[in-house]
Structure 1
Amino acid sequence: MAQVFFVSLPGAGGRTCRQGVAALRLGALAPEPDPFPPMDERGFEEDTGPGQELLEKEHSTELHPQSGAGSPRDVYMPNAAGQPLDSGQSLLREVTAVSSCSLRRGGCWSGGGPHQQHSRRWLFFLLAGALVGLAVIASSSLHRDPGAYEGRTQLWSLIPVWGAGTETTTTTTTETRTTSTATITITTTNTGTTTTTTSTMTSSTITETSTTVSSTTTTRSTTTTTSPPCWPRESPDGGKQVILGVSYAPVPLLPASERIPNDDFMAEGMEPYWGPPGKEGKGRRDLRIMRALGANTVRLYGNDPAKSHQRFLREADKLELDVIAGLSDYPYIQMKGNCMSTDFDCFDQIKEQYVMNLQGGFLQNETTYHPRLRTVILMNEPDLKLLGDTSNFCRALVSAFDAVIEAEKEQGVKGVAPNFTVAFSFGLCPRCTHLGHTPGLGQMYALREAMRDPKSVDYTPRNDLWTLYRTRFVNAINTANPAFDVNSLFIQPYDQHFQGTPVFIGEYHSPEYFDQKGDLEAIVKLARDPSNLLLGIAFFEFQVRYDKGGAEMSFGMFGLDRELEITEAVIGWESYPAHCLTAVEAKAGGGKCGKLERDLDYVSDNKWGFAMDHIISPDMCCSKCREFDECKAFTRVEDAGPPAPCKSQCRVEGLQRGLRRVPDPRTTPCCLGAR
Structure 2
Amino acid sequence: MSGVGDAGEGVRHSSVSRAGKSVKYAVLALVCGVVSVGVAWVFPANSRHYVSRVPLPKAKVYQAECSAHQKCVELHIQGLCCPGNGKLQDCCDPIPSTAEFAGDYGMCYSPEPFKEEGNTFPCDDFMGNWAAPFWKKRGDLDVIRKLNITTVRLYGNDMTLDHKEFLDELEKYGMQAVIGISDEPYLQDFRNRCGLGGRLDYNCRWTIQDQFEAMLQKGFTRPVGDGTRRYHPAVKAIIVINEPELKIQFNLSADDKARAKGYYAKAAISALDGMLSAEENMHVVGSGSLPPFTVTHSFATCPECKSANNTVNGSNVGGFSALPFMYDFVHGCLDPSFLDYRPKHDLRAALQNRFVLGFNTQNDRDSICTDLLGPLGASPLVGLPVWVGEYKPVAMSDPSMNPDVFEGDLRKMRHLVDGGMCNASAARLRALSVFEFQVAYDKGPFDLQMVYGIHVLGNRVVAHTHPIEQTNWTSYRVWCLRQRRRVGYPNESWVAPLAQVFGGSLTDDSWCPIDPDHPADLPVPPPS
TM norm structure 1: 0.52
Q: Distance in 2 between matches of 1:255 and 1:587?
A: 20
Measured after TM superposition, the shift of residue 489 of structure 1 is 1.2
**Alignment partners' CA distance in 2, 1:448 and 1:459:** 13
Partner of 2:382: 499
What is the percent sequence identity of the aligned residues?
32
Asked whether 1:524 is paired with 2:414, we answer yes
Q: Is the 1:104–1:500 contact (alpha carbons within 8 Å) kept by the matching residues of 2?
A: no
**C-alpha separation between the residues in 2 aligned to 1:105 and 1:448?**
14
Counterpart contact for 2:105–2:431, Cα < 8 Å: yes
Please name the residue that 1:426 is paired with.
Answer: 299
CA-CA distance at 1:344 after TM superposition? 1.1
* TM-score, structure 2 as length reference: 0.66
Matched, 1:377 2:269: no
Q: Is residue 349 of structure 1 aligned with residue 231 of structure 2?
A: no
Q: 1:139-187: CA deviations, max 9, x gaps?
A: xxxx998644699xxx9xx966x4xxxxxxxxxxxxxxxxxxxxxxxxx
Match of 1:556 among 450, 453, 460: 453
Secondary structure of the structure 2 residue equivalent to 1:377: strand
Shift of 1:456: 2.3
Q: 2:185 aligns with which of 308, 313, 331?
A: 331
Aligned equivalents of 1:106, 1:443: Cα separation in 2? 20
* Residue 414, structure 1, aligned to residue 285, structure 2: yes
CA contact (8 A) 1:102 1:159 kept: no
CA distance in 1, matches of 2:338, 2:487: 48
3-state SS of paired residue (1:491) = helix
Shift of 1:430: 2.4
Counterpart in 1 of 2:157? 303
Cα distance per residue 1:596-623 (max 9 Å; x no partner): xxxxxxxxxxxxxxxxxxxxxxx99xx9
Q: Structure 2: which amino acid aligns with 1:454?
A: P
Please tell me the residue identity of whatever aligns with 1:508: Y
The letter for the 1-side match of 2:161 is: K
Q: Distance in 2 between matches of 1:564 and 1:289?
A: 17
Q: Which runs of 5 or more residues in structure 1 are unaligned?
A: 1-100, 109-142, 163-231, 236-240, 276-282, 592-618, 624-675
Change (3 A) 1:106 1:403: closer
- Give, as a single letter, the amino acid of the residue that structure 2 aligns with 1:584: R
Aligned-partner residue type, residue 188 of structure 2: Q
Residue in structure 2 matched with residue 540 of structure 1 by the alignment: 435
Give RMSD over aligned pairs. 3.0
1:291 alignment partner, SS class = helix
| In structure 1, C-alpha distance between the alignment counterparts of 2:383 and 2:138, rounded to whole Å | 41
Give the C-alpha shift of residue 485 in structure 1: 1.1
Out of 271, 288, 299, the residue aligned to residue 132 of structure 2 is 271
Q: 1:273 & 1:556 partners in 2: Cα distance?
A: 16
What amino acid does structure 1 have at the position aligned with 2:434? F
Using the alignment, how far apart are the partners of 1:382 and 1:501 within structure 2?
20
Q: Name the structure 1 match of 2:472.
A: 572
Show CA shifts across 1:643-674 (max 9, x none): xxxxxxxxxxxxxxxxxxxxxxxxxxxxxxxx
Verify: 1:402 aligned to 2:273, yes or no.
Answer: yes
| Structure 2 counterparts to residues 139-218 of structure 1, below 5 A | 147-148=89-90, 162=98
Determine which of 392, 395, 401 is the counterpart of 2:263.
392
Deviations 1:342-385 (A, max 9, x none): 22111111011100011111112251111110111011111111
The offset of 1:467, in angstroms, is 1.1
State the 4+ residue runs in structure 1 displaced beyond 2 angstroms: 101-108, 143-151, 511-514, 530-533, 585-589
Give the superposition deviation at 1:390: 3.9
Report if the CA contact (8 A) 2:61-2:349 is conserved.
Answer: no
Q: Does 1:437 align with 2:343?
A: no
Does the aligned pair in 1 maintain the 2:108–2:152 contact within 8 Å? Answer: yes
State how far apart, in whole Å, the 1-side matches of 2:448 and 2:440 are: 10
* Equivalent residues, number: 372
CA 1:499 to 1:553, structure 2 compared with 1: closer, same or farther past 3 Å? same
Relative to structure 1, the CA distance from residue 105 to residue 469 in structure 2 (aligned partners, 3 Å threshold; closer, same or farther) is closer
Shift of 1:417: 1.6
> Which amino acid in 2 is paired with 1:556?
G
CA distance in 1, matches of 2:120, 2:238: 25
Q: Return the offset for 1:586.
A: 4.5
Most deviating of 532-541 and 383-392: 383-392
Offset at 1:500? Answer: 1.4
Mapped partners of 1:585, 1:490: distance in 2? 32
| CA shift for structure 1 position 261 | 0.8
Say if 2:141 is the partner of 1:287: yes
Match of 2:24 in 1: none
Moved more, 352-361 or 336-345: 336-345
- Aligned in 2, Cα 1:557/1:491: closer, same or farther, shift over 3 Å? same
Considering fraction of residues, name the structure with more helix: 2
Q: Could you tell me which amino acid in structure 1 is paired with residue 217 of structure 2? A: Q
- Paired with 1:486 and 1:266, the residues of 2 have a C-alpha distance of 31
2:329 corresponds to 1:447:
yes
Paired residues of 1:243 and 1:297 also in contact (CA < 8 A): yes
Q: Choose 341-350 or 443-452, whichever is displaced more.
A: 341-350
d(CA) in 2 for partners of 1:107, 1:256: 52
Which digits, 9 at most, give the CA deviation of each residue in 1:185-243, with x for residues without a partner? xxxxxxxxxxxxxxxxxxxxxxxxxxxxxxxxxxxxxxxxxxxxxxx5x58xxxxx421
Q: Distance in 2 between matches of 1:456 and 1:474?
A: 21
Structure 1 letter corresponding to 2:443: K
1:375 and 1:583 mapped to 2: Cα distance?
28
2: distance between equivalents of 1:541 and 1:577? 21
Higher gyration radius (CA): 1
Structure 2 counterpart of 1:477, from 359, 362, 365 = 359
Q: In the aligned structure 1, how far is the partner of 2:173 from the partner of 2:488? A: 33
Q: d(CA) in 2 for partners of 1:395 and 1:105?
A: 22
1:445 shift after superposition: 0.4
Contact 1:249 1:263 in 2 (8 A): yes
Deviation at 1:469, TM superposition (A): 0.9
- In the alignment, the residues of structure 1 paired with residue 360 and residue 153 of structure 2 have an alpha-carbon distance, to the nearest angstrom, of 13
Q: Distance in 2 between matches of 1:475 and 1:509?
A: 19
The CA deviation at 1:572 is 3.2
Q: Deviations over 1:495-550 (max 9, x none)?
A: 11112101100000014326111110001112222663211210000000101222
| One-letter identity of the residue aligned with 1:534 | L
Go from structure 1 to structure 2 and tell me whether the alpha carbon gap of 1:333 and 1:102 turns closer, same or farther (over 3 Å shift): farther
Q: Distance in 2 between matches of 1:288 and 1:488?
A: 36
Alignment of 1:456-467 (within 5 A): 456-467=338-349
CA distance in 1, matches of 2:190, 2:81: 45
